[in-house]
Amino acid sequence: MRLTPIKSIGLTVTAFLATSPALCDKPEDLYFGEAVYYANQGLYFEALERLDAEFAQHHEVDEPNLDSLFPHIADAQFSLGDFELRYRMHHRAGRAISAVLEGAVDEMVRNDAAYRLARIQFQKGQMTDAMHSLERIDGRVPAAIEDDIEFLRANIHLAEGRPAAAIAPLENLQHSKQFAAFAAYNLGIAFLQNGSKQEAIAQLDRAGQVSASDPGELAIRDKSNLVLGTLFLEQGEFAEAATHLDRVRLDGPYSNQALLSSGWANVSAERLERAIVPWGILAEREVTDRATQEAMLSLPFAYGRLERHGRAAMLYGDALAAFDGEIDKLNASIESIREGRFLAALSREEIRKDKDWVIRLRSLPETPETYYMMELLASHDFQTGLQNYLDLADLRRKLHTWRTNFDAFEDMIAIRRGHYEPLLPDVDASFRELDSRIRLRREQHRMLVKRRDDLLTTPRPSLLATRDEQLVLARIEDLEAGLADAESPLADELLRRCQRLRGLLTWTLETEYHERLTAFDTNLRRLDEAMTVAQAQYDQYIRARQAATHSYVGYDRSVQRMRARTNDSIATLDRLIIRQGRLLEIVAIDELVARRSRLENYGDKARFALADSYDRATQAQARRENP
């Protein structure tokens, strides 16, 4: 009887812990929002690039609390960790979240950070650290992650081989909206690992009957029934085993395994006719599946036990032909991989745009090898290696594009230099002249403003005299100075006339003072406006002048440095891609060789069984003819 070890099918469910991409409220920070936009499309490199740049800018500002990222800083740090994890940068992932934990943040935010960090550590396989992070959770916890924390805690205990400690948190999750089905199954496994077989059976029975509609939950229900059926099979309770195995959906991911085990349960219970039904269904399924291949041998085996050797011989013959065909296909696949077609197919852009691209690979006529590698393609290590290979290829494409951009940048800089350098000396000379004039006017303007301000506090009418009046006043002063020492009646008369004239002028200045001050102020305000326009034009010129220089000066070294870094990275990438590609090919070929060996082995058995069945059929016929 075939006993599938519990360990291989009884693995606890942990993949569910991976969260969906950052689905947050619309951020007020556009650049964080831009990172989320890319992440939501699965473009994690672009998302990380934007978010890294935004964080760098945030840390450079003088007053970070006024930056638009500030209100979202915790969310952004969580997202950074998520994006890094999704881009398979486990070494970096978690650093930003640790920063939240160390910062002075609200209790709920800190607890959320502790959970997220624990989840990252769990995915990295750092179970002790993950548990330590969970232990930091204290006080209020966001309601949305309460169940997630318990589920993670239970999974850490299970991964650490402490099933007894996992039981309590899993029991708490039995009515969880999000985790009920998964927790029910994991609780059964925890009981099983803890040696509590009866509790495990009761729990798996419950998990195998939960009402579910979600494909993930349905799969877990099937898995519970498969594990339970296998347990009963191990205990020799074949009828009970068949009951549970028959509960597994015929179109679910565990149906092949369940059909195979169901057949063996019936054979073991000596119900051979009933074993033929599941094996008959299974033998008609995809021939590359291991369970199907086994069923192709098991089915004639059952017919043989029923003394229907002719039918058995025919089915052994069919199996043999199928195995030979598959061996040919495997040989072609191994050759195809050696010729590099496998990696070329995996790198095809249009395939990878489909989220079910691994499944779609099967439909490609030029990649027969993928028929046999669905299990391998789905394994964690191979997936990581394959994703790394694809990521490296993407990075290389990016770097090659950038390298071309550097040439364009240098052309652009050279064109700008060629345009500006001949013009700038003349422009600068004109500017120097203009600059000295504008400085003079600015000084004059400043003095006039000062005079107006002085007049407002200390009125001095003479300062508002017109040019003619000033000339007249100066002439009067000259005349008065000339007449000062003269002693004659005429001189006295002239001096009186001068005083009358001065009086007349003073009268005019005094009586018109306010009117003149108002006019002076009005004119000065107009001048202010003109000066503002002149200053703006001056500033604009300065900016344009600086922009002209900045458009081509100071880039040479950074472009050279970046080109060197890019070239170094391309060289590293080339090396890594070759190594990663070869490794994938080796692993793929190893897998195919192992599958071929198995088929060859099956073929040998089928040949032997075929001959044996013919002998028995012949003997039976002889007995019938000569009783």
Contacting another protein within 370-399 (CB under 8 A): 375-376, 379, 381-382, 384-385, 388, 391-392, 395, 398-399
* Residue in 36, 69, 245, 276 binding another protein, rule: CB under 8 A: 36
Q: Rule CB under 8 A: which of 573-592 touch another protein?
A: 573, 576, 579-580, 583, 586-587, 590-591
Phi, psi of 170 (to 5 degrees): -70, -35
Q: In the bound complex, what is the minimum distance in angstroms from residue 395's beta carbon to another protein?
A: 5
Letter string b/e over residues 82-119, b meaning 16 or more CB atoms within 10 A of that residue's CB? bbbbbbeebeebbebbbbbbeeebeeebbbbbbbbbbb
Q: With 0-12 CB in 10 A as exposed, 13-18 as middle and 19+ as buried, what is 126?
A: middle
> Which of 235, 236, 285, 237 is CA-nearest to residue 260?
285
Place of tokens 């090898």: 369
Q: In the bound complex, what is the minimum distance in angstroms from residue 270's beta carbon to another protein?
A: 12
Q: Rule CB under 8 A: which of 468-497 touch another protein?
A: none
Q: Rule CB under 8 A: which of 184-213 touch another protein?
A: none
> Which of 178, 222, 167, 154 is CA-nearest to residue 200?
167
Does 419 bind another protein (CB under 8 A)? Our answer is no
* Residue in 37, 420, 513, 538 binding another protein, rule: CB under 8 A: 37
* Residue in 440, 608, 618, 622 binding another protein, rule: CB under 8 A: 608
Q: In the bound complex, what is the minimum distance in angstroms from residue 406's beta carbon to another protein?
A: 9
Distance CA 155, CA 13 (A): 8
Distance CA 291, CA 397 (A): 41
Instruction: Give rounded-to-5 percent helix, strand, coil for the chain.
Output: 80, 0, 20
The sign one gets for the Cα dihedral 22, 25, 28, 30 is positive
Q: Rule CB under 8 A: which of 287-316 touch another protein?
A: 290, 294, 297-298, 301, 304-305
Does 14 bind another protein (CB under 8 A)? Our answer is no
Closest CB to another protein among residues 267, 361? 267
Q: With 0-12 CB in 10 A as exposed, 13-18 as middle and 19+ as buried, what is 529?
A: exposed
CA distances from 268 to 85, 241, 246, 356 (A): 48, 10, 15, 39
Q: Is 599 in contact with 329 (CB distance < 8 Å)?
A: no
Q: Rule CB under 8 A: which of 534-553 touch another protein?
A: 540, 543, 547, 550-551
Does 34 bind another protein (CB under 8 A)? Our answer is yes
Largest CA distance in the chain: 185
Does 88 bind another protein (CB under 8 A)? Our answer is yes
Instruction: Please list, in sequence order, all residues whose beta carbon lies within 8 angstroms of the beta carbon of residue 493, skipping any fewer than 6 positions away.
Output: none
* Residue in 15, 23, 66, 481 binding another protein, rule: CB under 8 A: 23
Place of tokens 């439909």: 363
Q: Rule CB under 8 A: which of 396-415 touch another protein?
A: 398-399, 402, 405, 409, 412-413
Closest CB to another protein among residues 304, 368? 304
Does 41 bind another protein (CB under 8 A)? Our answer is yes
> Which of 334, 330, 331, 363 is CA-nearest to residue 348?
363
Q: In the bound complex, what is the minimum distance in angstroms from residue 350's beta carbon to another protein?
A: 14
* Residue in 12, 14, 48, 113 binding another protein, rule: CB under 8 A: 48
Q: Is 525 in contact with 448 (CB distance < 8 Å)?
A: no
Letter string b/e over residues 562-601, b meaning 16 or more CB atoms within 10 A of that residue's CB? bbeebeebbeebeeebeebbeebbebbbebbeebbeebee
Q: Rule CB under 8 A: which of 57-76 touch another protein?
A: 68
Does 5 bind another protein (CB under 8 A)? Our answer is yes
Does 91 bind another protein (CB under 8 A)? Our answer is yes
Q: In the bound complex, what is the minimum distance in angstroms from residue 597's beta carbon to another protein?
A: 9
Does 170 bind another protein (CB under 8 A)? Our answer is no
Does 560 bind another protein (CB under 8 A)? Our answer is no
Q: In the bound complex, what is the minimum distance in angstroms from residue 605's beta carbon to another protein?
A: 6
Closest CB to another protein among residues 437, 550? 550
18-26, 167-175, 203-211, 485-493 -> range binding another protein (CB under 8 A): 18-26
Q: In the bound complex, what is the minimum distance in angstroms from residue 81's beta carbon to another protein?
A: 14
Q: In the bound complex, what is the minimum distance in angstroms from residue 255's beta carbon to another protein?
A: 16
